[in-house]
Structure 1
Amino acid sequence: MTDPELDLTLERVIRASRAAVWRAWTDPARFARWWVPAPAVCRVDRLDVRPGGALVTAIGDAGGPFVPHMDATFLVVDDQERIVFTNAVDSAWRPAAPEPVAMTAEITLADHPDGTDYRVVVRHGDPDARDRHEKLGFLDGWGTVTAQLAAVVE
């Protein structure tokens, strides 16, 4: 269930199997190809897709230095159906105050006649955090990486 005052959502049909989309989320080499908006590049430092596992990435320009991007913990992992992670708890299981906003993201995959129904719900602790994330370009950013994910698997 989503709360429009606290949550941001994105939905897309990806013309590939759930297994292919799942591999793009769970294989570090595939994940690095789509996780940050191009032309930036992603370095995957840790991708341990299991409850309590780490999601740690860095972002950079091609050939340039990398800076921290995401330090998060997976909360729920249901094979080929759902991934939930939060950056409010870092990969060492310590409370975090991430910039620009703390969030919990839920990714769900479901069968669709044309491939996979891909749904993202990003939950925030209060309306100000949700609004800040929206103004910072949630739809552009998550929309871009979702399109890149689709390009990798389709």
Structure 2
Amino acid sequence: MHELSISRYIAAAPDKVWDIMVNRQNEWWCPAPWRAEVVHQDRRPGGACEMTMFGPDGEVMPMRGIYLAWDEGRRFVTTDAVNGDLEPSGPFMVGIWQVEAEGEGTRYTASARHWSAETMKQHEAMGFTTGWSACADQLAALAEA
């Protein structure tokens, strides 16, 4: 498996982290100064998920895919290999976002699984660790407030 992953302890209850994670994505999903806007979410396996990311210099990056899993309160899994119309698209990764209780708080883990070592290395070179860590920090700041 060609996986990149980050993990962060968040000093807040899992239900609070989950609520922010899934209901306030516009506030943490992209590392600032980028921002995200959720377009559509059908929160179930096979349901469409669409959002657009906007960069500080006018960049616009639409993202379309489907949920492979939605385990309420625990994890959700998406892929861009198939869009909401069940049409194949250029696959890049399977994304897994999950929370679990750890002590008095929550262990947040976000992983990206890739079809090949080449695309994993490409994602790493794009700044996976820095970017996804910044998003985790933004999520933690919201949950710990």
Instruction: Find the aligned partners of 1:136 and 1:66 in 2 and give their Cα distance.
Output: 15
Matched, 1:54 2:44: no
Q: Report the TM-score, using the length of structure 1 for normalisation.
A: 0.85
- Greater than 3 Å deviation, 4+ residue runs: none
**Can you give the 5+ residue segments of structure 1 that lack an aligned partner in the other structure?**
none
Structure 1 vs Structure 2: percent identity of aligned residues?
33
Instruction: Find the aligned partners of 1:150 and 1:111 in 2 and give their Cα distance.
Output: 14
**Can you give the 5+ residue segments of structure 2 that lack an aligned partner in the other structure?**
none
For 2:19, the equivalent position in structure 1 comes to: 23
Deviation string 1:50-74 (CA, Å, 9 cap, x unpaired) is 2122221112257x86723321211
Instruction: Find the aligned partners of 1:103 and 1:79 in 2 and give their Cα distance.
Output: 22
Instruction: Find the aligned partners of 1:107 and 1:59 in 2 and give their Cα distance.
Output: 18
Match for 1:15: what amino acid?
A: A
Instruction: Find the aligned partners of 2:55 and 2:69 in 1 and give their Cα distance.
Output: 31
**How far is the alpha carbon of 1:35 from its aligned partner?**
0.7
Deviation string 1:58-116 (CA, Å, 9 cap, x unpaired) is 12257x86723321211111111121111111122211115xxx100112211111311
For 2:37, the equivalent position in structure 1 comes to: 43
Q: Report the TM-score, using the length of structure 2 for normalisation.
A: 0.89
CA contact (8 A) 1:48 1:54 kept: yes
